[in-house]
Homo-oligomer: A and B are copies of this chain.
Amino acid sequence: MVPFAEPPRTVQSIALDAMGGDLGVSPLIEGAIQAVLHDGAAVVVVGGPAARQCLDDHSSEQGHLLVRQARAAGRLQFVDAADVVTMEDRPAAAVRRKKHSSMRVACDLVEAGQAAAVVSVGNSGAMMANASFVFGRLPRVVRPAIGTVLPSFAPHKRTLLVDAGANSSCEPLHLAQFGVLGSVYLEQAFGQSRPAVAVLSNGEEEHKGTPLTRAALALLKRTDLHVVGFCEGRDLNEGRVHVVVTDGFTGNVVLKAAEGVFSFMGRVIKETFEQGSVVDKLGGLLSKPGWARIKAELDPREFGAAPLLGLRRPAFIAHGRSDAHAVRCALRAARRFVDHDVSAHMAVAIERNAAVWTS
């Protein structure tokens, strides 16, 4: 069935790069423990002495019998790594010069069959470079991309933005393949059948856009995807389109602008109700349960883990400021990818549309 000859895997551990996060090793270790204890995950933590110390501290704490049991049962392992990729490292240099980084070792574990997927909260460019180097691309895939899930109005529907930042310059073929990869991810990992695929543009009319977007749309129409045409920035949260393809420059700028508006609104709301009149403060107080529900619904941690699409092995990146819950969510997303064998389905879909890539 799958056109690339990977043996079926029985290992379901997720390799977690415990270094390079903005908040230090604690949230990584705590997230791994939560995933193991509460989600039945198996995690291989890869890191330096600080990570090992943190894991040991958690294991020796009173009441953490369960952590010790998990370690004894091999569901929570630790692998040493001598080096760390920092946010300052250029991607290519990280691959060339830091062959013993936790990021690289975590990828190597997956390639060697000792883990089924890798998750990192570190330098996302370096992670893309390392994962691409170690795993390689799926056959016929020209450029792997980052997929980012956005909150949406449509119940039980997600909108996936691809590419969210891996490739700052793209060609039409890349964007068309992003559409295939994104569709398969939503179909297989989230059960969304026939996702609506659109090219992000500056207007819905077909004469809008750039030479890139128009050529990408023409190519997409030749695939077997459910292609709806161009969409605009305002469609990202509407739930009308499900896979939005764009170049990584535009994707990154749009995502960060959306994050900026969320945080701007949050700050304005907070200041208004905290610094206002007694009525404001009371209103703010009584609104708290509602706000808690909104926050839970829009929790970026639930959406935060982004798959690297188009590689032979599952790899996820999460936000550098991920807390323990975000790390747990990222591990869950990686497991879903593994459980549904998304890589193999992507390979099939890319192959099924081979005529589009070769013409």
Contact = CB atoms under 8 A, between A and B. Distances in A.
B260 A234 contact: yes
B287 A153 contact: no
Interface in A250-268: 250, 252-265, 267-268
Contacts of A90: 207
A153 B260 contact: no
Contacts of A200: 253
Given A210-B249, A264-B237, A297-B268, A256 B232 contact: yes
Contact of A284 (B202, B211, B290): B290
A246 B258 CA distance: 17
A57 to B, nearest CB: 35
Interface in A187-212: 200-203, 207-211
- How many copies the complex holds: the figure is 2
A126 to B, nearest CB: 13
B286 A286 contact: yes
A74 interface: no
Give the bracket for the number of chain A residues in contact with chain B: 35 or more
B280 A287 contact: yes
Contacts of A279: 286, 289
Contacts of A249: 201-202, 209-210, 250
Contacts of A233: 252-260
Nearest to A211: B169
A83 interface: no
Interface in A54-90: 90
A15 to B, nearest CB: 27
Given A238-B260, A253-B254, A257-B258, 17 more contacts: A200-B253, A209-B249, A232-B256, A233-B256, A233-B258, A233-B260, A234-B256, A234-B257, A234-B259, A234-B260, A237-B260, A237-B264, A238-B264, A258-B261, A262-B265, A265-B265, A276-B293
Interface of A: 90, 151, 153, 165, 168-169, 200-203, 207-211, 232-238, 246, 248-250, 252-265, 267-269, 272-273, 276-277, 279-280, 282-291, 293-294, 297-298
22 contacts: A153-B267, A168-B208, A202-B248, A202-B249, A210-B249, A232-B253, A233-B258, A234-B259, A234-B263, A238-B264, A253-B253, A253-B254, A254-B257, A265-B265, A269-B294, A272-B290, A272-B294, A276-B289, A277-B289, A279-B286, A286-B286, A287-B287
